[in-house]
Amino acid sequence: MRPSDRPGSSRLPMIILIDGDCSMCRNMAAWALRRSPRRRLRIVTRQSAAGRRLIAEQPAGALPADTVACLDNGRIRLHADAVRQVVRRLHPPWSWLVVLTAVPRPLRDAAYRWLARRRGRRPATTACRTSGPPCGNPTRHW
pLDDT reported for residue 15? 92
pLDDT reported for residue 124? 46
pLDDT reported for residue 120? 63
pTM across the whole model: 0.70
Q: How far is C-alpha 91 from the geometric centre of its chain's CA atoms?
A: 15
pLDDT digits (tens, 9 = 90+) for 13-22: 899 999 988 8
Residues sharing a CB contact under 8 Å with residue 36, sequence separation 6 or more, in sequence order? 89, 90, 91, 142
Residues sharing a CB contact under 8 Å with residue 42, sequence separation 6 or more, in sequence order? 13, 14, 15, 16, 140, 141, 142
Alpha-carbon gap, residue 16 to 82, rounded angstroms: 8
Chunked mean pLDDT (size 10), the chain, 142 residues: 42 86 87 85 92 90 86 88 88 85 84 79 46 40 33
